C-alpha cells in the first residue's frame, strides 16, 4: 500500500468514527428528553387522579420544585409528603435527568427541576428539554404542561 492509500483509509475510518459518535450523542439526548416527557406524563396522570378524588388540584401559590425533601410524593395532602403513604397518587416524584440541561426550569432554589404551581381548577408544570420536539410542538429549553395540554415556552405563572 502506498502512503496515499493509507491516508485515504485513515480518513474514511475517521469520518465513520465521527458520524458514529454524533449518532450516539443524539440518541442519548433524545432518550433523556423522552424520559423527561414520560416523567411529566406520570405527574399529570397522578394530578388527574388527585383531581378526581378531591375535586381540585393541589393548591400551591409559589413555584414548588417537585421531588425535593417534602415534595417527594403526591398524596391526599398534596405534595406535602416525604414518605409516601400506601394510598399515594404518586409514591415517588421522578427527578429529571440533569445532563444537558441549562437551568431553564428552576424554582425554590433548585436548578433543573419540575416546577409546579396550581389552584383548585388548573395547574402549571414547567420542565426543560434539550432539543425541540416538532411532533409535540415543544421547544428547546423551558416548556409547560397544564391540565389540558403541553405548551412551548416557560409557564406564565412561574
Q: Which residue has the cell 408544570?
A: 125
Strand ranges (E), the chain = 60-65, 115-118, 123-129, 141-146, 150-152
- C-alpha dist (Å) from residue 53 to 10, 50, 71, 102, 108: 65, 5, 19, 36, 28
- C-alpha dist (Å) from residue 6 to 9, 14, 19, 28, 38: 5, 12, 20, 33, 48
pTM of the model: 0.86
Q: Which DSSP category does 75 fall into?
A: B
Query: How do strand 123-129 and strand 150-152 relate by DSSP bridges?
Result: unpaired
From CA 158, how far away is CA 156, in angstroms rounded?
Answer: 6
CB neighbours of residue 67 within 10 Å: 19
Per-residue pLDDT in tens (0 to 9) along the chain, 158 residues: 788 888 888 888 988 988 888 888 778 889 999 999 999 999 999 999 999 999 999 999 899 999 888 889 999 999 988 888 988 999 999 989 988 899 999 998 999 999 999 999 999 999 999 999 999 999 999 999 999 999 999 998 77
Domain ranges of the chain: 3-152
Amino acid at each position: 500500500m502506498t502512503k496515499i492509500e493509507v491516508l485515504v483509509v485513515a480518513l474514511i475510518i475517521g469520518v465513520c468514527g465521527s458520524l458514529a459518535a454524533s449518532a450516539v450523542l443524539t440518541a442519548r439526548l433524545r432518550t433523556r428528553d423522552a424520559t423527561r416527557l414520560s416523567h411529566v406524563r406520570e405527574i399529570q396522570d397522578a394530578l388527574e387522579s388527585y383531581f378526581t378524588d378531591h375535586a381540585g388540584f393541589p393548591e400551591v401559590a409559589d413555584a414548588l420544585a417537585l421531588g425535593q425533601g417534602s415534595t417527594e410524593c403526591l398524596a391526599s395532602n398534596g405534595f406535602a409528603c416525604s414518605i409516601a403513604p400506601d394510598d399515594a397518587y404518586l409514591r415517588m416524584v421522578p427527578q429529571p435527568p440533569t445532563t444537558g440541561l441549562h437551568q431553564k426550569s428552576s424554582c425554590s432554589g433548585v436548578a433543573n427541576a419540575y416546577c409546579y404551581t396550581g389552584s383548585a381548577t388548573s395547574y402549571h408544570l414547567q420542565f426543560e428539554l434539550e432539543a425541540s420536539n416538532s411532533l409535540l410542538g415543544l421547544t428547546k429549553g423551558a416548556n409547560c404542561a397544564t391540565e389540558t395540554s403541553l405548551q412551548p415556552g416557560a409557564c406564565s405563572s412561574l
